[in-house]
A and B are shown apart, each in its own frame.
Chain A
């Protein structure tokens, strides 16, 4: 028998470039109150939430053990709290395990990140590299992506023009999403002429600095209807780690993503990604990643360039939310992807709504050039 857990509710604030009017505690508390209001969930020791899984990062919070700064605003006062320090998709995977284990009926997931707080995102991600052989050279997640972008574009036939189309489309989709970061709509020419940051990645190819917070209530299958009439189920999850040194990896192989997706597909009984999903949300921190991850999860076997030319992004309803590229903070990309899948499955995606969505894939990445991938499958 396939086992699943339910997502009962989602609460989010709007993605913004700089939430100067609120600390992260306030951002989380807004989400927390909304979850309680939507579901009527309690923190009763018998029947309520006994464990909160948070997602945040000490470096971006500039705070040791940053979950100490939010225990009570996420409802963990005299309850459990466990912080996942990876992309939030893994918080969902872990929460799923906590529920399927029988240990908890309910898990509240609370994630936040204020990228605007740090002087530079790249300075933070430089610290993810070892201090001996990589950090001194100035490696960071942006230039690590650039190595991958060049190698991938060479192999897949994805061109600068394709990337421009991806960015323009992301902004158009983002404009239809009331919780997405408010960005200017762009022309293809504007993207093609945007300055190079780290060849071949242009300024507009990279996701913009963003602040955001998110809450989600997960429950065991049996109790979902106590909290919502319209539960959405997580039926598959998998993640995978690739090698650390960029030089040790085949940067274009999608090694970790293929494995992560394979595990999620096995769990959910998915045979062929190409016709399994009505909605696909991929964590494209840089434009080249959208077709590359699409290949990794099995949507674009013909290669990313041909897939885009064949209208693959529309055919598979990829990133109707605007994607990471429109702006979600690091750590939360996978949760943002899951939110879109959830809303589409519930029929609550507003202007972006696709008819008859029954199954969706959401994806998150952690680390430089997708060292770690997580894939989640959601169903009605």
Chain B
């Protein structure tokens, strides 16, 4: 497919994350961002003077700050530097990584700092998301980001019993991962013997979507530093390379595109195109880790099929056989994923950051216990958008 060779290679050279939490009364927005920025600079062994350009993103209406990068300059370090702001809903963090990759690869900047953040405690998240709906046709019907559509779909295909068990196995795996990750917002210590109980006792939200399945509302920020190949080797002896990224959106407002495409999710479409142009034949065989933007356990289960281009019940088996656990055949979200922490504007960047840490081999207690050379990270946003990344340990393409 048409993507030419990159103008130059881009490496991830610094990663900073705040602890994710339901509340951060001790810091204001720029101060919270600064924690992540400082973390990324320290990780890379750089000072703010080494940065050429700062890319910033979140959702304005979640905190109701218009063009927040202006105020946040106090914490981002953008003063005197080139600065961009991009926002694409849940995919924002992914878009920021894609943008930083483009900005460095273009040759316009050698070292770019990207920052995703959200302080959801300061606003009203479900109200904010509801304001996404079309004010004329849909706003009065929308219920934030809560939907049981994935549950309905999985249940219809595999039956209530198997579907509910798979969703709960997925959920407990994610919690076990979250318990290993010191930055997690929610880590309950769930265990297998609680499965039956959780499937019936967790408060239902919509249909078969229960509170335990759903992601949190978190405060937190993530910052990453990207550098050109030449610069990357000066900064670190283990840069993680961004091999490729693809963004696929879908959002019908005027129904112009009815029947134009087959009924296929943007996740599967993005994965197909990305694998095709990078010549990946068997993604489960190829990738050593996948950090997925999984807003609920139901979506997590369902989307495994799309991202890995699986057929039938292969994705359910991956879950049921616990192959997606940190020590399994295809580890998914060793960080605990989005159910463990969801500061929306940062969430998608955290996926890339966590995947990159796994490739570096220094993720900490949640490091996958075997070499990680090839990583994939996904972003999800809007009602159905995807940004998908391939990261590599070696320049192998």
Binding site for B on A (CB under 8 A): 3, 25, 29, 45-47, 50-51, 57-59, 62-65, 67-73, 76-86, 90, 93-94, 96-105, 124-125, 127-132, 237-244, 255-256, 259-260, 263, 267, 366-368, 371-372
Contacts and interface: CB of A to CB of B under 8 A. Distances in A.
Contact of A372 (B70, B87, B95): B70
Nearest to A53: B86
B28 interface: yes
Contacts of A90: 84-85
A105 to B, nearest CB: 7
Nearest to A56: B87
A94 B89 CA distance: 18
A239 B132 contact: no
B98 interface: yes
Given A97-B108, A130-B71, A372-B70, 7 more contacts: A46-B1, A63-B131, A64-B89, A78-B269, A90-B84, A241-B54, A242-B73
**Residue of A93, A97, A125 with highest tally of chain B CB at under 10 A:** A97
A125 B88 CA distance: 21
B382 interface: yes
Contacts of A255: 80
Interface of B: 1-7, 28, 54, 57, 59-62, 64-74, 78-89, 95, 98-99, 101-108, 128-132, 134-135, 245-254, 256-257, 260-261, 266, 269, 273, 381-383, 385
A81 B246 CA distance: 10
A77 B249 contact: yes
A21 to B, nearest CB: 15
A242 B66 CA distance: 17
Contacts of A132: 28
A63 B135 contact: yes
A78 B248 contact: yes
A102 B6 CA distance: 5
A105 B87 CA distance: 22
A244 B98 CA distance: 27
A376 to B, nearest CB: 12
A377 to B, nearest CB: 13
Contact of A25 (B5, B79, B253): B253
A241 B132 contact: no
A83 B80 contact: no
A81 B88 contact: yes
Contact of B102 (A84, A94, A267): A94
B87 A83 contact: yes
